[in-house]
Amino acid sequence: MERDPLADHERKQNGGQRHRISATSLVKYIVAVQLRGHKPVQSLSTINCCLPDEIERNSHRMTLMNDPAVLGVNERATNPTGIFPSQTLRGLIDMGSVTAPTPISDDQIQPASIDLRLGEFAWRVQASFLPGPEATVEDKVRAFGMHQIDLTDGAVLEKGCVYIVPLQESLDLPDDVSAFANPKSSTGRLDIFTRVISDRGTRFDLIRPGYAGPIYAEVSPKTFSIAVRTGSRLTQLRLRRGRAEVTPEELFHLHEEVGLIDAPFDPEEVREHQSLSLRLDLGPDAPGGIVGWRARHHTSILDLDQPDNYDPGDFWEPVSARQGAIILNPDDFYILATREAVTVPPDYAAEMVAYDTLVGEFRVHYAGFFDPGFGWHPDDRSIGSRGVLEVRSHDVPFLLEHEQVIGRLRYERLIERPKKIYGIDIGSHYQGQGLKLAKQFKSPN
């Protein structure tokens, strides 16, 4: 007797017991069955749910889910793996896989990610946490929460404190689609430690395939106290099916085509680490002799939603190198830059790999996303953009030297080229950058 995939799905999701399912879930099930070639359920009378009105309201989702323009490609043929581009993200939003009480605007959709917005309040909590497999985020907040803060008219999040903020966006992911998050570039450059958590989650920033429920931002300003409000955007979310990391041989071929970095590299090192090494720029040719910026300890409040508003000198001290080296003060926060200019072709995305403690007790780069088109120009492969690095030494002073390896860049394929490409045309702030502070600061003199 052929197994009923719906019954199997119901039992898996409910501890082996059948349960009442929504019309939305039924629509997703029917389309999934069709896409994978199973026979449909013989009789809807075997399904314990209420159908007519909800099915009518959600029937358009069946058309969307079968539309190759929404899925990115025809899943019947290839079921491709990789990161989802902008047009596929918009299709998933229209399908209801990403929802919010207020419309998700087009400017939230980046070439390969969705900007997530803060909700109406924040909880101040005693400590960072993961919910674990048996608890929701709100279960933990009830146990470790201190007080609630209204964000609708704006509020200050104090440095050194930990906050949990329900995000406006919630998820209802297909069973073969997962999500992963990173702080936005400006968030990282302001030293705002930001991670996404989900109910019954066991890892930060990673959301399991098929997850349905709310998502939350853990926000902990480390250097500056910040002003935020409902709708502020601190983090971004990528969706993907499986993994599509670029192999070393593919990296070599891609580098020959477009020039991924503007410097030679060791092929054996690329094969060993499955990624490209990036080195630190502390050379003598830095404009004005400034190779980086160190955050001041005592500053005024910084409003995240005020671009090009602050004098850098009120928040930062310039850093100069001595004989091609600097010494990091323990727990001070620095903005530095890579020696290499980086290019991310439009069919790919990249991510800065987490730092390796074997090369030093310092953390590099909170904001790990490099969007499709970063540093890329269709007619000039020499353009590139420097990687800007957020750096902090832990426990002890640490010496950094010119051209020291500071991080590694890993590339991953998209399922297709995005209709939005990173750059000036979509208002990207960091295309063609050198050593650049967050967008909230005016350009230094």
Q: For position 53, what pLDDT does the model report?
A: 43
> Topology of domain 90-241, per CATH?
Deoxyuridine 5'-Triphosphate Nucleotidohydrolase; Chain A (2.70.40)
Q: What tens digit of pLDDT does each residue of 127-141 get?
A: 999 999 999 999 999
Q: Which of 286, 313, 386 is nearest to 344 (CA)?
A: 386
Rounded to the nearest angstrom, the gap between the alpha carbon of residue 276 and the centroid of all alpha carbons in its chain is 20
The list of the chain residues with pLDDT below 50 reads 1-66, 68-77
- Taking the C-alpha atoms of residue 343 and residue 372, their distance in angstroms, rounded to an integer, is 9
- Please tell me the predicted confidence (pLDDT) of residue 302: 98
In order of 8, 35, 245, the CA distances from 12 in angstroms are: 6, 20, 30
Is 228:155 a contact under the CB 8 Å cutoff?
A: yes
Q: Name the segment(s) of the chain with CATH classification 2.70.40.10.
A: 90-241, 248-426
What is the rounded distance in angstroms from the CA atom of residue 196 to the CA atom of residue 354? 17
Q: What is the pLDDT of residue 8?
A: 43
Cβ contacts of 407 within 8 Å, gap of 6 or more:
277, 278, 338, 352, 353, 355, 364, 365, 387, 389
Q: Which helix (H) or strand (E) holds 307?
A: none
* Tens-place pLDDT, residues 58-106: 444 444 444 544 444 444 345 789 999 999 999 999 999 999 999 999 9
* Architecture per CATH, 248-426: Distorted Sandwich (2.70)
- 3-state SS assignment for residue 252: helix
Residue 405, classed as helix, strand or coil, is strand
Read off the pTM.
0.81
Q: What is residue 387's predicted lDDT score, i.e. its pLDDT?
A: 87
- Answer yes or no: are the C-beta atoms of 281 and 336 closer than 8 Å: yes
